[in-house]
Amino acid sequence: MNAMKMKKEIMFAAAVLAIIGLLVASRSLEDASFKPNRVRIATGGPSGVYFKYGEALAGIIGDRTKSDVTVIPSGGSVENVRLLRENRAELAFVQNDIMTYAYDGADIFSADGPFKDFSAVAGLYPEACQIVARSDVKDIHDLKSRKVSIGDKGSGTELNAIQILSAYGMSETDIDADNLSFGASVTALREGKIDAFFCTAGVPTPAVSELAASGEIRILGIGAAHIASITGRYPYYSRHTIPAGVYPNLSDEIETVAVRAALVASNRISADDVFVITKLLFENKDDIAAICEEANGLDRESAVNGIPIPLHAGAEKFYFGK
Ligand code: GLU
């Protein structure tokens, strides 16, 4: 090789290395500011939406920050707040009603006292209160004396079930209540071991889709008067329509109530780190939605509206630049 050619090749190699260096540097600009070497995301049961959303988000944060990001399966919102409180999770999916009760130390959290050491990252999507029943159960009144799962232990679903039943003049003692995850409820309903189950989750919920595809089921609607009584008594619910066709074989729309799912963070995580997490969530919305379609509902406006607890300083910086 002559000297001229060699010089050209060295220059070319140097240029390639410089470009690679720039790419690596620009990519790790974001990473460099991210301090936690471990992020644990408290989710829900594997047949729910929290788990799927959490897995997609964990993949993104882990990939971009090179941190060790894990998903914790759980009973749902109530357990997730406890995981945050006990420093066993850094991020969590929580219903807006449950997060308020936890923050204020009210209702199911009255024995725990107020827990203020967490804050909101983003409001995510509505969670419909779905009462999935065998097709011979026509109405919520028909649940009397039937075997019904009111949600997993540690779920927000359980509280929703109790509040909805109370609007119908019933309590858990009027039904033969059980605490099953969504996945276990599907199996139990198929095997005839339960007649119905409550499921507060984004629509479509994987467990409900699975069941609707393979058999005769019904989602029990809530009548207008009962919706008014629930939303009047509890401010976290809103009227919600499950559109026709979101589940196989269910061709009518269904009127019910919904709460909202939010991503929350422990205040032990710095504002800079939560800023990175919020940014990654929004920048990768489409990739997350490819795995979990509820992520299509993510937008800057609804992410900050109707959040009953303070926003995390890092999320605030992302939304409002301060
Ligand atoms: N919102 C439910 C609960 O806290 C969990 C929903 C899900 O797993 O997607 O009970």
316 and 284 in a common domain: yes
Question: Whole-angstrom Cα distance, residue 70 to residue 89?
Answer: 9
Regarding whether 305 and 158 lie in a shared domain, the answer is: no
**246: CB partners within 8 A, 6+ apart:** 203, 204
CATH number of domain containing 73: 3.40.190.10
The C-alpha atoms of residue 138 and residue 215 are separated, in whole angstroms, by: 16
Q: Is the pLDDT of residue 214 over 90?
A: no
Are residues 151 and 251 both part of a single domain? yes
Distance CA 173, CA 194 (A): 16
The Å distance, Cα 94 to ligand 1 centre, comes to 8
Q: What is the tally of structural domains in the chain?
A: 2
Instruction: Write the residue with the smallest CA distance to atom 9 of ligand 1.
Output: 49
Ligand 1 center to residue 147 CA distance, Å?
A: 21
Whether residue 29 is contained in a domain is answered as no
Atom index in ligand 1 nearest the CA of residue 160 equals 10
In a domain, 246, yes or no: yes
Per-residue pLDDT tens digits for 32-49: 568 888 999 999 999 999
Tell me: do 249 and 283 sit in the same domain: no
Q: What is the mean pLDDT of the chain?
A: 91
Q: Residue 107 domain-assigned?
A: yes
The predicted structure's pLDDT at residue 49: 98
Best mutation site among 57, 72, 155, 186 for ligand 1, i.e. most ligand atoms within 8 A of its Cβ? 155
Residues with CB under 6 A from ligand 1: 44-45, 48-51, 76-77, 95, 127, 151, 155-157, 200-201
Token pair listed for 89: 């999770």
User: What pLDDT does 215 receive?
Assistant: 79
* Single-letter code of the amino acid located at 6: M
Summarised one tens digit per residue, pLDDT across range 95-141 is: 999 999 999 999 999 999 999 999 999 999 999 999 999 999 999 99
| Tens-place pLDDT, residues 38-84 | 999 999 999 999 999 999 999 999 999 999 999 999 999 999 999 99
Q: How far is the CA of 207 from the centre of ligand 1 (A)?
A: 12
Work out the average pLDDT over 177-196.
97
Establish if 31 belongs to a structural domain.
no
Q: Whose CA is nearest to atom 6 of ligand 1?
A: 201
Are residues 285 and 247 part of one domain?
no
**CA 113, CA 319: separation in Å to the nearest integer?**
30
Q: Measure 59 CA to ligand 1 centroid, in angstroms.
A: 20
Mean pLDDT of 174-201: 97
| Domain end (from 240, 259, 278) | 259
Quote the domain boundaries for residue 225.
Answer: 127-259
pLDDT in tens, 263-299: 999 999 999 999 999 999 999 999 999 999 999 999 9
Q: Which atom of ligand 1 is nearest to the CA of 50?
A: 9
* pTM (two decimals): 0.90
Please check whether residues 110 and 135 belong to one and the same domain: no
Q: Are 89 and 146 part of one and the same domain?
A: no
Q: Is residue 18 part of a domain?
A: no
Answer yes or no: do 189 and 283 share one domain.
Answer: no
Picking from 259, 291, 308, the residue at the C-terminal end of a domain is 259
Residue 7 lies in a domain: no
